[in-house]
Structure 1
Amino acid sequence: MKTLLLLYMGDETVTASAGTEKVLTEMANAMTERGYNVIVATNDAPDAIPYFPFDAGVQCFFLDVNTKRIPFHVKVKREVNRVLSLWDKPVEAYRAALSCRKLQQHLQPGDVDCIIAYNHEAIQVASRWARGTVPLIAMMHNAIRTIMGNCNQAALREKEKADVIQVLMPSYVEEAKQYVTHTPVVWIPNTVMPVPPQEQACLSQKKEMYTIITVGRIDGLQKQTHILVQAFAKLADRYPQWQVCIWGEIKKRGYYDELCQYVRERGLETRIRFEGTTKAVRKKLQQADIFAFPSAFEGFGLALTEAMATGLPSVGFHSADAVNGLIVDGQNGILCDDGVDAFADGLERLMTDQALRVKLGHQAAADMKPYCPDAVWQQWQELIEAQIGRAKDPKECD
């Protein structure tokens, strides 16, 4: 039985409800079902309870690194690096060294056939721990302009230690090659679970109250939750039969409090609701009529694709990476110019045209079928086996 080591390091935690955590769990479970021995190593505390549960066959090492205090000299190095850009992410490198030592207590490189690194700190851990003796696949879980464009040369050289880099959208392949010139780049998307027709949103129904829904962390930089709130506030008086439900984790309390105050000042507390997190995402999507997704950029957009698979028409931005590769304007959703006013116009276009909602939602569900789990995990298995084969017999694979 071949052994896969999935490394999920950095500030991330398996207790969170975000997309990368979901992908980690789904991959671990899927590869276990396909006959691999799967080991997951993270920086979490030993008593961490994953938000998305791993199957019993998945072995987890929680290395308890996130709680370790960062030494003063490492913080100084980080501040110098912000100005002179000399090193590869000093804080992450320090934690990677700790993680490497802890991982060595559980596992040796000879016990593993392939490593999959979920973020940059995981690449640092893998390169320290295996020292090039185990095939390494590096995953890029966000837009390339943010995940590579913000790296200095030292960080990019670290990424090039991977044997192959995986990206989430076809357009990201050539974009990534602008930053890493020696490492192969492949496109494998995230999975999108097909939704049976009887479980999709019923957009043709007449309702007393229609719902605009969004799913994602409450965030001002990437998810731009404020744009949805402000856009709907412009429309609320004209469309009293509509409401907004915002599902997602609160990351920055100050930002969330500002949004709540904005809603209260306009008397929209019953029309714009912050619902928290839920494990019944599909059920919430089924009850909605429009999916709003005002993100500035995405790696793939799991919430968006889940909404599309549920048959919801979506509103997003032309400029948003990945969003503009999943939403086809006028065919399965609406793409808008940047800004609150344009987003409000996109919402209004769907709010006033039920037939258009039905048409676009139907096409959205059809467009998600190529991302079914079996197809995606087969792509992953082929990539993993190719890397293992290349490591065992490099001459044959040249």
Structure 2
Amino acid sequence: MKILLIQHLYFLNGIGGTEKICSLLANVLISSGFQVEIATNDNVIGKAVFPLDKNVRVTNIYDASLEQIEEIPIYNYRGRNLLLWIKYKLMKKYAKLYNRRLIRRMGGEEKLYQHNLRNRAIAWKRYIDRLKPDLIITMSIGSLLEITFGNTFSIPILNSVNGRPDYDYSNVLGGRKPYMVELLTNCFNKLDGIQILFDSYREFLPSTFTGICRVITNPIPRVADTDLVKHSNEKARCKIVHIGRLDTECKQQHIAIGIFGKLAKKYPTWDLEFWGTGVDFERLNLQIVNLELSDRVFLRGFTDNPIEKIKGADIFIFPSKYEGFGLALAEAMLVALPSIGFITCSGVNELIKHGENGFLAKDNIEMEHYLKQLMDNPSLRQRMGLTGNRMIKDYSLENMAAGWLALIRDVIKTKSNG
């Protein structure tokens, strides 16, 4: 049986949670005897970052000759060079004029969007018809829209949801036009099955979905008991750690830096460490410099071994605005780190049980308060850390594999009987 996994963007060179789960899922399916291919459509040269079984094939169907009519990006110059300011001002005016004429010529913004989408969907149809997979798994509703817009497939299609489902199709996080929301919402009726991360996420599925839904959590690797953090050990310096892409809109690392800045003088033996890369490196680095914390707060960059970095810490701080699951948070719990997040953050408020394995704060003031409690009390860190380790043990690769194999079996059986 041949299974096609589709992540239409960012799989090549991607270091995010979706890329990691896509690779893990491909390996699980290979080990279960399936043929597996991962396909993307991205104007990049690169490869999968996370380990893949040698039998997993990765295909990029990108074709530079495929017509995509694009607007000219608008750039706001923020420097102080007068000549460059004039140059970019003129470029901006030209871009706005060009874009208005283009949208008018195409019959509106929605028509332009659909024109480009339809051309990509045609390319996907040609590729899928040649490959002839027995099952398709899309890694997002965006990927599902890419392959199904104007197309019809008799092949059963599943979707893997690596976030809260409404983040995938609604405008709850901003940035989507009403016509995009409508297209994405309607896509759910193309699905035969869907995987979600938590049972509570069922309520965020749209009424257009009528297929089979299963809760299949992300897997967390096992560690030996000797690798658990021992909070009773004496240390010259202690560490608060965060792992995630540097993205202040979602991950909100600036909040952690601001809170630590208020506590730094009172706790001179504590440091704050970030692992990850992203668009907000310069913003965060400037914040660190302005707070005169360059010798206490560190932006370490990318790591391919997050658990090893987490093991050297004492507290895990995760001030995200929204998450789907919070893989780094789960890995912190695995090695017995107590964690702090916001009670309003999806995913985080599923993994952290307030007062048991960490704290859920309602705002920055509460987060500072709970952070101080943990910094002051090694025995509290030890108790919460061990509780978190016990709670996370069911999040295994074996359970993930069993869940996916059962979903695939049930969907194929339903499809063949229908």
Report percent identity of matched pairs: 27
How far the C-alpha of 1:341 sits from its partner, in A, is 2.3
Please tell me the residue identity of whatever aligns with 2:194.
I
- Taking a change above 3 Å as real, the CA distance of residues 46 and 72 of structure 1, as seen in their structure-2 partners, is closer
Pick the aligned partner of 2:181 from 121, 134, 152: 152
Q: Which residue of 1 aligns with 2:94?
A: none
For 1:180, the equivalent position in structure 2 comes to 208
Change (3 A) 1:309 1:136: same
Bigger Rg, structure 1 or 2: 2
Q: Provide the rounded CA distance (Å) in 1 between the counterparts of 2:341 and 2:184.
A: 31
TM-score (norm: length of structure 2): 0.84
Letter of the 1:147 counterpart: D
Are residue 359 (structure 1) and residue 383 (structure 2) matched?
yes
Partner letter of residue 199 of structure 2? P
How many pairs align? Answer: 381
The yes-or-no answer on 1:267 pairing with 2:296 is: no
Distance in 2 (alpha carbons) for counterparts of 1:391 and 1:110: 20
Q: Residues 324-363 of structure 1 correspond to what in structure 2 (within 5 A)?
A: 324-338=349-363, 340-363=364-387
Equivalent-residue separation in structure 1 for 2:259 and 2:147 (angstroms):
44
Q: What's 1:26 paired with?
A: 24
d(CA) in 2 for partners of 1:221, 1:171:
24
**Contact 2:212–2:411, Cα closer than 8 Å, also in 1:** no
Counterparts of 1:111-122 in structure 2, within 5 Å, are 111-122=132-143
What is the SS of the residue equivalent to 1:160? helix
TM-score (norm: length of structure 1): 0.88
3-state DSSP of counterpart to 1:5: strand
Cα distance in 2, alignment partners of residues 37 and 300 from structure 1: 28
Moved over 4 A (4+): 65-69, 73-80, 84-87
Greater mean alpha carbon deviation, residues 378-387 or residues 127-136: 127-136
The 2-side partners of 1:358 and 1:191 are apart by 24
1:317 equivalent in alignment to 2:345: no
1:276 counterpart SS class:
coil
Give the deviation of 1:130 after TM superposition: 6.7
**Counterpart Cα distance in 1 of 2:56 and 2:198:** 28
- One-letter amino acid matched to 2:398: D
Superposed, 1:168-317 pairs within 5 Å as: 168-177=197-206, 179-250=207-278, 252=279, 255-317=280-342
Aligned equivalents of 1:158, 1:370: Cα separation in 2: 32
Partner SS, residue 221 of structure 1: coil
Q: Deviations over 1:273-295 (max 9, x none)?
A: 00000112111011011111001
5+ residue gaps, structure 1, are none
Q: Shift of residue 137 of structure 1?
A: 0.7
Amino acid at match of 1:344: E
Quick check: 2:121–2:148 contact (8 Å CA) kept in 1? no
Name stretches of at least 5 consecutive residues in structure 2 with no aligned partner. Answer: 73-98, 172-179
Q: How many Å separate the matches in 1 of 2:54 and 2:187? A: 33
